[in-house]
Amino acid sequence: MQIYKVGGAVRDRLLGKPVTDIDWVVVGATTEEMLAKGFRPVGADFPVFLHPKSGEEYALARTERKSGRGYGGFTFHASPEVTLEEDLIRRDLTINAMAEDDQQNLTDPYHGQRDLEERILRHVSPAFAEDPLRVLRVARFAARYAELGFNVAPETLELMRQLSESGELEALTAERSWKEISRALMEDQPQVFIQVLRDCGALKVLMPEVDALFGVPQPEAHHPEIDSGLHTLSVLEQSALHKQPLTVRWACLLHDLGKGLTPEEEWPRHIAHEHKGLKLIKAVNERFKAPKDCQELALLVGQYHTHGHRALELKASTLLELLQSFDVYRRPQRFEEFIVACEMDARGRKGLEQRSYPQADYLRGAANVARGVAVQPLLEKGFKGPELGEALKRERLKALKVYKESAAS
Ligand code: CTP
């Protein structure tokens, strides 16, 4: 049997990037031989094994054919006769379809090295279409390698367009899609992921609520970039520039969905878009089964981001309601994430990327003031149950009034 390193490990070594996990392909072996050498099978009837010591994945060379819709609809054929070239041709991109032996000799039948040098993400063969998840993968690689100058080949983008129009994307499971989306959002240029999905028509299928933002104008005074879709891309870009966590990036992507619902005659104003957007945010959250913290933050940022921007003008009572809605007493981190999402929203505007955002510290200060109100004196006065809650609220309101006045002077 011959063993080769394949896929991302080869690609990233040639790019001079750190290699995190290594995939191997084994040519000329049978399942029985692998088991005899101590490899552990990954699934009952899938020709992938884990190395007894390193735990790395070793796959028997295989060909694949699609036999139905979705990911389950696959038949594969693994046997000692399957060649390395046959295994490589079923893979997604030429830059992912190179193999290397233990002497670092490259097998590159589909010119992955040339495409690496020319910075092109190009599909290997029509077999690309057998897994619609690859539409998201290509967009993710475009986001990851954008800083190196990579672009999607026109013929690959065309194939992605056909796949998006075919209805195949709908067959993807929420779990597989979310894995790609969440990884893509954590790349340095997540806005490229959304842009590429839009360019091939996949965004309209996966997140029509986000796609609908493009072409919708906003008032130029607050939004020099005008277009709501471009604004969303900039907010996402800012969230990555500021190294924000996934929760914040997800909230940034979804914060303005309500703007896609504004009747044209009301443009460029978007009255109550914060509330109108909530059902759309909920729908996207549920479609991809986003983790609970991502879901929650996206809804809260959607509902309250304009409160964040108006923080310094809010009445003390409104400020208190905001803090209560976030449960800042028990969930301080979530309020901090809200604050930075608002800041990203303020900076994700053409020419305003460097603006200061005094609202952030003002909100942090308000949260500290409200949290600083002690319960003990109220208990000592004999308050308990719902009355204690009311008394606490009154004290917090008093403290916030003082805070607001001192901040204004
Ligand atoms: N692959 C594919 N189609 C998929 C998933 C994977 O063709 N839908 C192939 C590619 O050759 C890929 C390899 O399997 O390089 C390993 O896949 P994976 O580990 O998911 O990705 P990597 O390319 O290693 O990239 P990453 O750095 O993002 O993990």
Domain match, 239 and 358 both: yes
Q: Where does ligand 1 bind, in terms of residues with CB under 6 Å?
A: 7-8, 23, 91-92, 96-97, 131, 133-134, 137
On whether residue 344 sits in a domain, the answer given is yes
DSSP code, position 227: B
Strand pairing class (57-60; 23-27)? parallel
Strands (E) in 231-272, as ranges, are none
> Of the candidates 68, 91, 117, which is a domain's last residue?
117
On whether residue 403 sits in a domain, the answer given is yes
Nearest Cα residue to 305 out of 351, 239, 350, 215? 239
Minimal-distance CA residue to ligand 1 atom 16: 7
Report the atom number in ligand 1 closest to the C-alpha of 91. Answer: 7
Minimal-distance CA residue to ligand 1 atom 12: 7
Mutate to test the pocket of ligand 1, among 96, 123, 130, 172 (most ligand atoms within 8 A of CB): 96
CA of 160 to the centre of ligand 1 (A): 17
CB burial of residue 100 (10 Å; 0-12, 13-18, 19+): middle
Domain match, 105 and 38 both: yes
> Of the candidates 185, 218, 237, which is a domain's last residue?
185
pLDDT value at residue 73 = 63
The CATH number of whichever domain residue 150 belongs to comes to: 1.10.110.30
On whether residue 198 sits in a domain, the answer given is no
pLDDT value at residue 46 = 80
- CA–CA distance, 244 with 174 (Å, rounded to integer): 24
Nearest Cα residue to 316 out of 255, 373, 251, 275? 373
Report the atom number in ligand 1 closest to the C-alpha of 141. Answer: 28
pLDDT value at residue 76 = 82
- CA–CA distance, 115 with 121 (Å, rounded to integer): 7
pLDDT value at residue 71 = 52
The CATH number of whichever domain residue 363 belongs to comes to: 1.10.3210
Domain match, 133 and 147 both: yes
CB burial of residue 280 (10 Å; 0-12, 13-18, 19+): buried
DSSP code, position 257: G
- CA–CA distance, 236 with 181 (Å, rounded to integer): 13
- Give residue 6's identity as a one-letter amino acid code: V
Report the atom number in ligand 1 closest to the C-alpha of 140. Answer: 28
On whether residue 224 sits in a domain, the answer given is yes
Domain match, 181 and 316 both: no
- Give residue 283's identity as a one-letter amino acid code: A
CA of 352 to the centre of ligand 1 (A): 38
Domain match, 245 and 351 both: yes
On whether residue 294 sits in a domain, the answer given is yes
What residues does 282 pair with on adjacent strands? Answer: none
Q: Is the pTM of this model over 0.75?
A: yes
On whether residue 191 sits in a domain, the answer given is no
User: Structurally, how many domains does the chain consist of?
Assistant: 4
CA of 8 to the centre of ligand 1 (A): 6
Domain match, 215 and 344 both: yes
Domain match, 363 and 385 both: no
Domain match, 164 and 245 both: no
> Of the candidates 69, 94, 117, which is a domain's last residue?
117
pLDDT value at residue 91 = 96
Compute CA 397 distance to the chain's CA centroid, rounded to the nearest angstrom.
Answer: 38
The answer to whether the beta carbons of residues 273 and 243 sit under 8 Å apart is: no
pLDDT value at residue 67 = 67
pLDDT value at residue 218 = 83
- CA–CA distance, 274 with 300 (Å, rounded to integer): 10
Mutate to test the pocket of ligand 1, among 92, 144, 179 (most ligand atoms within 8 A of CB): 92
**Structural domain boundaries, residue 19:** 1-117
pLDDT along the chain (409 residues), means of 10: 96 94 95 95 87 95 76 76 96 98 96 98 96 97 97 98 96 96 98 98 98 94 92 98 98 97 94 95 98 98 97 97 95 97 94 92 97 95 94 97 92
Domain match, 62 and 80 both: yes
**Is residue 140 helix, strand or coil?**
helix
**Is residue 407 helix, strand or coil?**
helix
